[in-house]
């Protein structure tokens, strides 16, 4: 499946897609929650139509088991993809909805940043529109240089996380886990 390469207006189907993807994850008796994070989790926010999901486990010793279960379900583990504390996965070939899937430990920096950014944008219409405008401004890069698209949002994402009460990048390993891919 090819990653969507456009920024579109908010689609009320996105929470339903999240629910479908979540319901299809086979994690057995692994203690976890699944959170809808990223731009598609923010009503009214323009976004790439890519659902971001955090599988949140209560402790680091459960991460290997989560990885094992997801690999058995057809996902390919990609390591931390440059963001310590967040394990990323490539999709199986037969998914219905394109998504980014991560495993995080409850309360670590990657998890906090995802939740802080999402919740801040849900409650702050001015910052939500600033972020949407930045994404639209950079959207042309999605077909030629996705890294430049992500990097172009980086400073604003860090600012918004800080405004939401997050810690600066330097006090915890890795940069923000917010929309890193």
Encode pLDDT of 101-121 as tens digits: 999 999 999 999 999 999 999
What is the distance between the alpha carbons of residues 100 and 68, in angstroms, rounded to a whole number? 17
Residue 181 clears pLDDT 70, i.e. is over it: no
Report the number of distinct structural domains present in the chain.
1
Please report the pLDDT score of residue 1 as a whole number. 67
Handedness of CA 106, 111, 117, 121 (dihedral sign): negative
Residue 99 clears pLDDT 50, i.e. is over it: yes
Residue 116 lies in a domain: yes
Handedness of CA 127, 156, 52, 129 (dihedral sign): positive
CATH number at residue 107: 3.30.460.10
Residue 71 lies in a domain: yes
Q: To the nearest whole percent, how much of the chain has pLDDT over 70? A: 91
Residue 100 clears pLDDT 80, i.e. is over it: yes
Residue 2 lies in a domain: no
Residue 175 lies in a domain: no
Phi first, then psi: give them for residue 46, nearest 5 degrees.
-65, 145
Handedness of CA 74, 174, 115, 31 (dihedral sign): positive
pLDDT tens figures, 71-97: 999 999 999 998 899 999 999 988 999
Please report the pLDDT score of residue 178 as a whole number. 45
Residue 178 lies in a domain: no
Phi first, then psi: give them for residue 56, nearest 5 degrees.
-105, 120
- Closest by CA position to 120, among listed 11, 42, 180: 42
Please report the pLDDT score of residue 21 as a whole number. 97
34, 41 contact by CB (below 8 A): no
Expressed as residue numbers, the domain containing 21 is 14-170
Q: Give the number of C-alpha atoms closer than 13 A to the C-alpha of residue 90, restricted to the C-beta side.
A: 8
Residue 165 clears pLDDT 80, i.e. is over it: yes
pLDDT tens figures, 8-58: 999 999 999 999 999 999 999 999 999 999 999 999 999 999 999 999 999
Residue 145 lies in a domain: yes
Residue 176 lies in a domain: no
């Amino acid at each position: 499946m090819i990653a969507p390469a456009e920024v579109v207006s908010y689609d009320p189907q996105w929470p339903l897609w999240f629910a479908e993807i979540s319901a299809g994850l086979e994690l057995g008796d692994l203690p976890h929650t699944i959170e809808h994070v990223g731009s598609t989790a923010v009503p009214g926010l323009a976004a790439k139509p890519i659902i971001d999901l955090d599988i949140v486990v209560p402790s680091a010793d459960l991460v290997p088991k989560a990885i094992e279960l997801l690999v058995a379900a057809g996902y390919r583990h990609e390591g931390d993809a440059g963001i310590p504390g967040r394990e990323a996965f490539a999709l199986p070939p037969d998914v219905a909805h394109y998504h980014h899937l991560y495993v995080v430990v409850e309360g670590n920096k990657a998890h906090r940043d995802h939740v802080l950014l999402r919740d801040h944008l849900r409650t702050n219409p001015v910052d939500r529109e600033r972020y949407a405008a930045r994404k639209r401004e950079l959207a042309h890069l999605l077909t030629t240089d996705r890294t430049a698209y992500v990097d172009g949002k980086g400073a604003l994402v860090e600012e918004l996380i800080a405004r939401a009460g997050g810690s600066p990048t330097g006090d915890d390993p890795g940069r923000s886990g917010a929309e890193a891919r």
